[in-house]
Amino acid sequence: MSGPSDYQPSNPALQWIERRLPIIGLVHSSFVVYPTPRNLNYWWTFGAILSFMLGMQILTGVVLAMHYTPHADLAFKSVELIVRDVNYGWLLRNMHACGASMFFFAVYVHMLRGLYYGSYKEPREVLWILGVIIYLLMMATGFMGYVLPWGQMSFWGATVITNLFSAIPYVGESIVTLLWGGYSVGNPTLNRFFSLHYLLPFLIAGVVVLHVWALHVAGQNNPDGVEPKTEKDTVPFTPHATIKDGFGVACFLLLYAWFIFYMPNYLGDADNYIPANPGVTPPHIVPEWYYLPFYAILRSIPNKLAGVIGMFSAIIILCFLPWLDAAKTRSSKYRPLAKQFFWIFVAVCILLGYLGAQPPEGIYVIAGRVLTVCYFAYFLIVLPLLSRIETPRPVPNSISEAILAKGGKAVASVAIALVAAGALFLGSLQDARASEGSDRPPGNKWSFSGPFGKYDRGALQRGLKVYKEVCSSCHGLSYIAFRNLAEAGGPGYSVAQAAAFASDYKVKDGPNDAGDMFERPGRPADYFPSPFPNEQAARAANGGAAPPDLSLITKARSYGRGFPWFIFDFFTQYQEQGPDYVAAVLQGFEDKVPEGVTIPEGSYFNKYFPGHAIKMPKPLSDGQVTYDDGSPTTVAQYSKDVTTFLMWTAEPHMEARKRLGFQVFVFLIIFAGLMYFTKKKVWSDSH
């Protein structure tokens, strides 16, 4: 991309094309012979990782859009149907949803790398600004994508974020109406967000081309911050950088796959498994983790308009970085003070992220204000000041000289610190979801937990019996069809058994030729009929509280794990908060209300229900349901069985997910190993 190429292909057909469109020469000069500094470290592989992630998001997104329905009444269900019925739909969805988080994780590493090594300085200012534009576009795309599943957090996230624009004086309200396409967030909003969510990634791809172009004109920066002078300072892009990037991508894929196959909901919010309801606000509205530092800045400023300005300027200020930091030395490696302030800045960002997930009260607000000041002070005071007072260490004359002087560095310790800090940051979301004033549900041993977890077939069959005889009189199970009972990874019934089970139900069908609705026996393709025709009927029949549909209940309920548990959870793959909570609520009823707790009329005391007053009377009692297989007919056993069953209804393909995950991990580890040794061989004469 940096000038005309003199590359001549040997194949006559390629020569014919090359004379008319020198595209092979362009690729050859940009990605084959392009000189890349010899001393690049692994932080430089994140550019390739980001390109890979962008491609991944576009590919999975295009297929997901083929199955998605952008309508307020259908969007939530269509996403569930993607996960349940589309071939490998669960995989596509996990790749896309976790992919967004991984994309942001990689972009933060990439940006901090640029910050540490001074990659924004002359002559790379335009390169840096293009990067900030990509980041802004990514934030808009990520936000609109999060709205599409149309869960509670999608809806309320959209409401809060679009309302930010109402802070603009005079024209704010009109801008918000224009964004909504109505008088509130609704179907027109969803439609335009879908359209823009499809458009923006291609804009990002376009700006990425400019970003790479600018990079190839100015040349890559490097850890020592001295420009390559002779041929000895560089190596050709292919094979050196290609193979190193390949190894970096392979390692990154290991982390990505950990989320896709084992922790798909670790970074998400349980509330988003509840369909959007414009009449109920969730207790804590928390954005996705990658927006948390900016959300913290927004909330720590008490004035609405000032808060919005503060939040946006926290990003826009990055554009001015090349002029705020006037130091001649690029790399912080040779700037003893800048290096320390850089790490303080990283800590400030992580802490801001943590605060963004906390309720805005007391000490959190004060800490948020202090850290907001620190954030801006880094750019407006520390960097301009340092460039005047700091005495940098001598910079090597050339890259080859720097390589010769190189000793073992503390890269490993930095990486560990970063992983630990990252885990704190990622997990802070869960901390925010602490359910107020209720006991923590006790942990259980579930057959489906862990990397090799499988559903206990007996428990699934018993749980189905408990649901049918007890729960189904009030709770629906509308995402489960009778055919699912015979599918692999489920309760293990035969197709004939599932059909027989279905025929016990009466299903409304029609209209027939006479225009009348009629009832017929259920078929395997029918869904479990709901006990109430609509939510209002359910509400009216149950004293004002509609019994929730149980299809997704074990994913839609959670409780805060708190620090430091959420960090361990990442490694132990603990993600059974939902089942633990459901089982605890079923067993948490107490006849005697403890002293000092008042329960409203028509409610019952439950130890584990948030607020303790639950409208559901104690549903299970010993001996209520008979078991054919000799299992104990106790409330504890019933709860465990029905919870296992409800975990299956929430995620029918969990066994396939974990099985494929294991295969992918075996492949990735071997692949990464091969890449590593190939890289070592390629680089053996260059170090």
Query: Which residues of this protein are in contact with another protein, per CB under 8 A?
Result: 156, 159-160, 162-164, 166, 177-178, 180-186, 188, 192, 278-281, 283-285, 299, 302-305, 307, 359-361
φ and ψ at residue 527, rounded to 5 degrees: -95, 155
Q: How many CB atoms lie within 10 A of CB 494?
A: 10
Pick the closer one to another protein by CB: 269 or 526: 269
396 CB contacts (<8 Å, ≥6 apart)? 224, 226, 402, 405
Structure token digits, residue 470: 């007890």
In contact, 457 and 491? CB cutoff 8 Å: yes
Pick the closer one to another protein by CB: 564 or 611: 611
Using alpha carbons, select from 279, 289, 306 the residue that is nearest to residue 159: 279
Pick the closer one to another protein by CB: 163 or 398: 163
Pick the closer one to another protein by CB: 32 or 160: 160
Annotate 347-395 with DSSP letters as a single string. HHHHHHHHHHTS-S-THHHHHHHHHHHHHHHIIIIIHHHHHHH--PPPP
From the number of C-beta atoms within 10 Å of its C-beta (0-12, 13-18, 19+), residue 90 rates as buried
Longest dimension (CA), the chain: 92
Using alpha carbons, select from 203, 227, 46 the residue that is nearest to residue 140: 203
* CA separation for the pair 189, 194 (Å, rounded): 9
Pick the closer one to another protein by CB: 181 or 531: 181
Q: How many CB atoms lie within 10 A of CB 128?
A: 20
- The least distance separating another protein from the CB of residue 585, rounded to whole angstroms, comes to 21
- The least distance separating another protein from the CB of residue 644, rounded to whole angstroms, comes to 33
**CA 376, 47, 662 angle in degrees (round to 5)?**
110
127 CB contacts (<8 Å, ≥6 apart)? 119, 120, 211, 214, 215, 218
Pick the closer one to another protein by CB: 362 or 515: 362
- The least distance separating another protein from the CB of residue 365, rounded to whole angstroms, comes to 10
Pick the closer one to another protein by CB: 12 or 279: 279
12 CB contacts (<8 Å, ≥6 apart)? none
In contact, 527 and 481? CB cutoff 8 Å: yes
Pick the closer one to another protein by CB: 159 or 461: 159
- The least distance separating another protein from the CB of residue 364, rounded to whole angstroms, comes to 11
* CA separation for the pair 665, 667 (Å, rounded): 5
- The least distance separating another protein from the CB of residue 182, rounded to whole angstroms, comes to 5
Structure token digits, residue 75: 């969007």
- The least distance separating another protein from the CB of residue 436, rounded to whole angstroms, comes to 11
Sign of the Cα torsion 666, 667, 673, 677 reads: positive
Decide: helix, strand or coil at residue 463.
helix
φ and ψ at residue 586, rounded to 5 degrees: -65, -30
Pick the closer one to another protein by CB: 304 or 680: 304
Pick the closer one to another protein by CB: 2 or 177: 177
Decide: helix, strand or coil at residue 111.
helix
In contact, 648 and 491? CB cutoff 8 Å: yes
- The least distance separating another protein from the CB of residue 656, rounded to whole angstroms, comes to 38
- The least distance separating another protein from the CB of residue 188, rounded to whole angstroms, comes to 7
- The least distance separating another protein from the CB of residue 205, rounded to whole angstroms, comes to 24
- The least distance separating another protein from the CB of residue 604, rounded to whole angstroms, comes to 22
Q: How many CB atoms lie within 10 A of CB 344?
A: 12
Pick the closer one to another protein by CB: 122 or 436: 436
- The least distance separating another protein from the CB of residue 608, rounded to whole angstroms, comes to 21
379 CB contacts (<8 Å, ≥6 apart)? 317, 320, 321, 324
- The least distance separating another protein from the CB of residue 545, rounded to whole angstroms, comes to 15
- The least distance separating another protein from the CB of residue 300, rounded to whole angstroms, comes to 10
Pick the closer one to another protein by CB: 29 or 159: 159
Tally: H helices and E strands in the chain: 26, 6
Q: Match 């020592």 to its residue by tokens.
A: 224
Pick the closer one to another protein by CB: 360 or 453: 360
Query: What is the helix (H) or strand (E) element at residue 236, kind and residue range?
Result: strand 234-236
Pick the closer one to another protein by CB: 186 or 450: 186
φ and ψ at residue 39, rounded to 5 degrees: -100, 15
- The least distance separating another protein from the CB of residue 180, rounded to whole angstroms, comes to 8
Query: What is the helix (H) or strand (E) element at residue 52, kind and residue range?
Result: helix 46-67
Cα–chain center distance at 17: 43
